[in-house]
Structure 1
Amino acid sequence: MKQELLSRLLESGIIAVVRKVEEEKVIQVITSLVEGGITGIEVTMDSPNALLAISEAKKLFGDQAVIGAGTVLDGHSAHLAIQAGADFIFAPTLSQETIAVSKRYGKIVIPGVFTPTEILQAYEWGADIVKVFPASVLGSQFIKDVRGPLGQIPMMPTGGISLENIEEYIKAGAVAAGVGGSLLNKEYIQNNEWDKLTDLARQYTNKVVNARK
């Protein structure tokens, strides 16, 4: 079951970071992203009524996309998110407690790391994938270089990923990328331009397909 979810999560190569979207628009935003082919949706815990949004999204899109919680800073938050239905836990930092709680309930866990030491530590503690964050500071060359000695550890850059650079990260060996602001176009959301948001999501998934060839 978990392996199946992991495969689906990585299928599109994109985890969309849904952060602080207005409560009444969040489901429409997720609908547009899923229609654009994105298979990983992360609702951040600092969003309004995040747990409700996760629960709702899981009911509606659970068979098309993998729904998870982001910005999870501790085991307690991880537990609440899992109770709400989150299939994966995405964290900006490396917390052994967060990994342990996620593993206890058989959920996918992707902690944030910045150095080769943290990458290995996260993996030894049981991370399924490591979130290299903020990727904008490290660049795609970092992924390429670190994959030399640590190629067995799946890496997912997040932070500063755009249409312009996503292909180079995938080509450098990233299994997927976490994409926030450059995908969740504020103007489109504000103006309810859902077709444009779906189109943008499709542009991202197409970039991944090209990079994986």
Structure 2
Amino acid sequence: MTGNPVLEALRRHRVVAVVRQRDADSALAQVRTLLDAGLRVIEISLTTPGAWEAIERLVTLCAGRDDVTVGVGTVHTPDEVARAADLGAEFVISPTLSRPVIAAARERGIVAMPGCLTPTEMWQATQWGADAVKIFPASLWTPASLAGMLEALPSLRCIPTGGIAPGEVTEWLAAGALAVGMGSALTTLPPGPLPWTTG
């Protein structure tokens, strides 16, 4: 695709597993469950109390593994970008569009995926250097509307997030999403191989 390892991981694994928990221990317990289920792109949200501890522990847990991609979510400031990079995170995701956050991520050499809702915001994000955009909340979109937008803006790399169930993933991917983000819905995954990965 691009030679960017994070974007390649998204293309391969198709789901960003979003972790929001009550503390660092609970977050790491959920991460282990997600890894056991085959999820390989993990985002720990800063809304988790003790998130920075959880991120540091996750990076340590995955040291030496080239099949797990670790990121930080709900990032609002350049200082948070810097701390994420210092801990070894490979990407940051934001709920909103922030030029300083994108610039900080580019400066530190990690992937920036800001939250956007409109095509104008998504296009602006890419002009500011975003590597991909988080369509948030995805519940305000449909796969059909995503497909229609990508006909006009085919260069966008979109990750719909918010309100997507496991059974809807393939429909979003067929519409042109690079990947989707899911949090609590991942607890409803049936046993067995993940149906959306490309290997």
- Does the pair score TM above 0.5? yes
- Higher mean C-alpha deviation, range 138-147 or range 77-86: 77-86
Question: More helix per residue: 1 or 2?
Answer: 1
| Residues 31-60 of structure 1: per-residue CA shift (max 9 Å, x gap) | 121122212100011211111111111121
Residues 10 and 40 of structure 1 are in contact (CA less than 8 Å); yes or no, is this contact kept in structure 2?
no
Number of the residue aligned with 2:161: 158
| TM-score using structure 2 length | 0.90
Alpha-carbon contact 1:183-1:201 (below 8 Å) kept: no
Q: Which runs of 5+ in 1 are unaligned?
A: 186-199
Letter in 1 for 2:18: V
> Root-mean-square deviation (CA), in Å?
2.0
1:21 CA drift (Å) = 4.0
The equivalent position to 2:121 in structure 1, one of 115, 118, 122, is 118
What is the TM-score normalised by the length of structure 1? 0.85
- Name the structure 1 match of 2:174: 171
Aligned equivalent of 1:193: none
Partner of residue 189, structure 1:
none
Residue of 91, 94, 100 corresponding to 2:97: 94
Q: Which runs of 5+ in 2 are unaligned?
A: none
Q: Does residue 61 in structure 1 map to residue 62 in structure 2?
A: yes
- Partner SS, residue 186 of structure 2: coil
Deviation at 1:128, TM superposition (A): 0.7
1:25 and 2:34 are equivalent in the alignment = no
AA of the residue aligned to 2:83 = L
From the superposition, tell whether residues 201 and 18 of structure 1 become closer, same or farther in structure 2 (CA, over 3 Å).
farther
Give the distance between the partners of 2:32 and 2:7, measured in 1 at CA: 20
Q: Give 2:8's aligned amino acid.
A: S
> Residues 6 and 85 (structure 1 numbering): CA distance in 2 closer, same or farther, change over 3 Å?
same
CA distance in 2, matches of 1:41, 1:89: 11
Alignment identity in percent? Answer: 32
The answer to whether the 8 A contact 2:38-2:194 is kept is no
Paired residues of 1:36 and 1:201 also in contact (CA < 8 A): no
1:78 is matched with: 81
Is the partner of 1:104 in helix, strand or coil?
Answer: helix
Number of residues paired by the alignment? 195
